[in-house]
Every structure is written in C-alpha cells, then in structure tokens.
Amino acid sequence: MDTTQRTEQQRSADRRRRELLEAADRVVLRDGPQASMNAIAAEAGITKPILYRHFGDKGGLYAALATRHTDALLNSLRDALDAPAERRERVEATLDTYLAAIEARPQVYRFLMHPAEGSTGPDQGFDVGKHSAPLLRRMGEELAQVIEERLDLGPGSQQLARVWGHGIVGMMHAAGDWWLGERPCTRAELVKSLADLLWGRLAAAGDKVGGPGF
C-alpha cells in the first residue's frame, strides 16, 4: 500500500470517527448520563461491535467525547481571557463563558460530570463519575498556565498559579453544578458574585512585563 492510499484510508477513518462522535453527541443531548452504547450504535446505524471496534469500550468512547467537549470549552475560555478588555471584565467573561456552556448543553455537562444512576449492566448508562476528576484537573492545569504566563506573582509564582488555577476551576465547577440544579439566581448575578469572591489579590497582582496581561 502506497502513502497516498494510507493517507486516504486515515482520512476515511477520521471522518467515520467524527460521524460516530456526532451520533454519540445526539444521544447524549437526548439521554444525558443514561446514554448507552446500544442507543449510540442505533443512532449511528451500526452494530455495537462496530462501535467497540472504533473506540475500544465505553470508556474509550467517553474519553473521546470528553476530549471533544473539553477542547472546545478550553478554547472558549482562552478567548475570553485574552479578549481586549479590563482584567475584571475578562474575569467575568471567563466565568460567564463556563456557565453559559453548561447552561446551553446541560445534558452534555451531566454526562461528563455525573454518573448515571443504576448503570450496572454493560448496556446501561455510562458510569462516568470516576472520569470527571481528570477533566477538572486538566482545566485547572490549563488555567494555571495562563495565570503564570500573564501575572507577576513574585516568588513561588508557579506553585501559586497552580493553586489559583485549580481553585478557580473547582469553584466554577461546584458553583455551576449547584446553580444549574437549583437556578437560585440569574447567570449574571452568579458571575458577579463569583468575580467579587476572586477579585482580592487578583486585582492587586501586576501584569508580567512584555506578557499579554490578564
């Protein structure tokens, strides 16, 4: 097999994988954490063994979906952090971007962050609770890198940036989870309250010389 044939086969496989992930997304939007391999295979018009062939198992499919949605969210958060605005406005925009994302697709959020109740059999919902922590850790590390690149935090800046990164992500996740379930206030009110909580030393920190700022 020559290089051209291998490249075309890879493109075909990548295209098929995207199609299967889009089918899985449709099922997740409908069923949330109860999304099953049977339902996803039916949505894609294939048998379950073919779905396993592409992703290995339920965990492999979950990981692919998690990467797909986490990448999109992280890109949106970076855009909000780097927007041409005052720092307080960018903090609020970043918080709002996260909350808007989980509000717009609550079933996807619940699929990624909450285990399905009663998911005991191989064809039941995904048991994803054990996977949510790595997603949050990844977001925390990404935010820590942004903070370290943009703020002059003095001695021990790397450690402090990581503390802040993981702390902010944990706060967004916990507050957002509570808010999505109870809706005790508007999104704008929650954003302002969380920004007030964060503002302290974040407001006083200087931008790094020559850096993009925060």
Q: What is the band of 192 on the pLDDT scale with cuts at 50, 70, 90?
A: very high
Decide which of 197 and 213 is more confident: 197
- CA 108 – CA 33 distance, rounded (Å): 8
Average pLDDT for the chain? 84
Does the pLDDT at position 26 exceed 90? yes
Tens digit of pLDDT for each residue in 27-48? 999 988 888 889 999 999 999 9
Q: What is the band of 19 on the pLDDT scale with cuts at 50, 70, 90?
A: very high
Does the pLDDT at position 162 exceed 80? yes
In terms of average pLDDT, the best of 31-35, 89-93, 121-125, 207-211 is 89-93
Does the pLDDT at position 120 exceed 60? no
Percent of residues, the chain, with pLDDT higher than 90: 38
Does the pLDDT at position 70 exceed 90? no
Q: What is the DSSP string of the chain?
A: --HHHHHHHHHHHHHHHHHHHHHHHHHHHHHGGG--HHHHHHHHTS-HHHHHHHHSSHHHHHHHHHHHHHHHHHHHHHHHHTSSS-HHHHHHHHHHHHHHHHHH-HHHHHHHHSPPTT--STTS----HHHHHHHHHHHHHHHHHHHHHHEE--TTHHHHHHHHHHHHHHHHHHHHHHHHHH--S-HHHHHHHHHHHHHHHHHHPEEPTTS---
- CATH 3.50.50.60 holds for 3-207: no
Determine the pLDDT at residue 118. 43
Does the pLDDT at position 5 exceed 50? yes
Tens digit of pLDDT for each residue in 174-189? 999 999 999 999 999 9
Does the pLDDT at position 194 exceed 90? yes
Does the pLDDT at position 158 exceed 80? yes
**pTM here?**
0.80
Average pLDDT over every residue of 145-169: 89
